[in-house]
Amino acid sequence: MDNPVKENLKRLMLADGKISEGELSRRTGIPQTTIHRILSGQIKESKPSTLKPIAAYFKLSLAQLQGEEQMPSNNTTKITSNYVGTPAKLIPLITWELASNWKKQYKTYQHDNTHGWVATNKEVGPKAFGLTIQGNSMTATHGPSFEDGCEIVVDPERKPKHQDFVIVKQSDKPNAILRQLSIEGGSLDLLPLNPRYSVTQLNSMDDICGVVCQLLANF
C-alpha cells in the first residue's frame, strides 16, 4: 500500500461502527482536521505523537497502524468499549470574522459539520471555540510559535493576564487577530511574535474576544 496508515484507518473506522472523524477526534484528542487530512491522503507520513493515540484507541501497536506489522485478525470487531484514554471535549472551529462577535452569537450559532471541530482536554467554558491560524504574524524562531494552519483553543470566559495570548477585535480592523498581551506600567500592548509586524496599543474601543489556552499542531 502506498499509504498504509490511510487505508488501515479507513478500515478500522468502518469496523468500529462507522465512527466519524469528529468522534474519533473526541476520543483520542487528535484534531479532527488532522484525521481528515490523513484519511484524504493529504498527510503521507504522520509523526508518532499523532498516531500513537489513534493506535491506542484501536488497541494496536504503532507499527501495526503504520503497516509495518500485521494487524490482529480480531480487529474487525467493535473495540471502543475498552478504550482507556481521556475523552476530549469537542468545540466548534469557527472563522476569524465570527470570533470577532462570538460572545453575542454563540448561543444562537448552529455549527455546520463541514467547518470542523477541535478536540481539547483543557478545562474550558461553554463558550470556547477553535480557530485556524492564518499568516505568519505570530511565528517565532524560539519559544511559542503559531504556525500557519495550526489550530488554537480559545476560552472567552478566561480572564486575560500579562503575557497571555489573546484574540482581539480592534476597532479599526474587520476581523479578530491573535497577539500576546503585555500589561506593564498601566499600558496594554498587543505584541506580535514576528518582529516584522508592529506592536499596537489596546485602546478602550478594542475588545478581547478570548484567551488562547491550547495550541494544536497538525502533522
Higher pLDDT, 13 or 115: 13
Q: Which three cell numbers stand for residue 66?
A: 503504520
**Res 113 pLDDT > 90:** no
23-47 average pLDDT score: 88
212-218 average pLDDT score: 80
Above pLDDT 90, what percent of the chain?
Answer: 39
Higher pLDDT, 194 or 219: 194
123-141 average pLDDT score: 92
CA distance 132 to 124: 18
pLDDT, the chain, mean: 84
**Res 199 pLDDT > 90:** yes
Of the pLDDT bands very low, low, confident and very high (cuts 50, 70, 90), residue 79 is: very low
Q: Which three cell numbers stand for residue 79?
A: 473495540
Higher pLDDT, 74 or 164: 164
79-108 average pLDDT score: 73
2-9 average pLDDT score: 85
**Residue showing cell 500513537:** 52
The CATH superfamily assigned to 4-76 is lambda repressor-like DNA-binding domains (1.10.260.40)
In this predicted structure, what is the pLDDT of residue 195? 93
In this predicted structure, what is the pLDDT of residue 76? 39
In this predicted structure, what is the pLDDT of residue 130? 92
Among 70-79, 140-149, 156-165, 204-213, the least confident range: 70-79
Domain locations along the chain: 4-76, 89-216
Closest CA to 86 of 130, 42, 120: 120
- The kind and range of the H/E element at 191 are strand 187-191
Of the pLDDT bands very low, low, confident and very high (cuts 50, 70, 90), residue 207 is: very high
Sign of CA dihedral 57, 59, 61, 65: negative
In this predicted structure, what is the pLDDT of residue 201? 94
Q: In a 3-state reduction of DSSP, which class is residue 65? A: helix
May I ask the CATH architecture of the domain 89-216? Ribbon (2.10)
Of the pLDDT bands very low, low, confident and very high (cuts 50, 70, 90), residue 81 is: very low
CA distance 172 to 197: 16
The alpha-helical segments, DSSP class H, found in 16-152 are: 21-28, 32-39, 48-57, 62-65, 96-99, 102-105
CA distance 173 to 53: 40
In this predicted structure, what is the pLDDT of residue 170? 92
**Res 14 pLDDT > 80:** no
Alpha-carbon distances, residue 83 vs 18, 24, 53, 103 (angstroms) = 16, 12, 10, 35
Residues linked to residue 1 through DSSP beta bridges, in sequence order: none
Neighbour count for residue 114 (Cβ, 10 Å): 5
In this predicted structure, what is the pLDDT of residue 17? 63
In this predicted structure, what is the pLDDT of residue 122? 81
The 10 Å CB-count burial string (b at 16+, else e) for 138-152 is bbeeeeebbeeebbb
The alpha-helical segments, DSSP class H, found in the chain are: 4-15, 21-28, 32-39, 48-57, 62-65, 96-99, 102-105
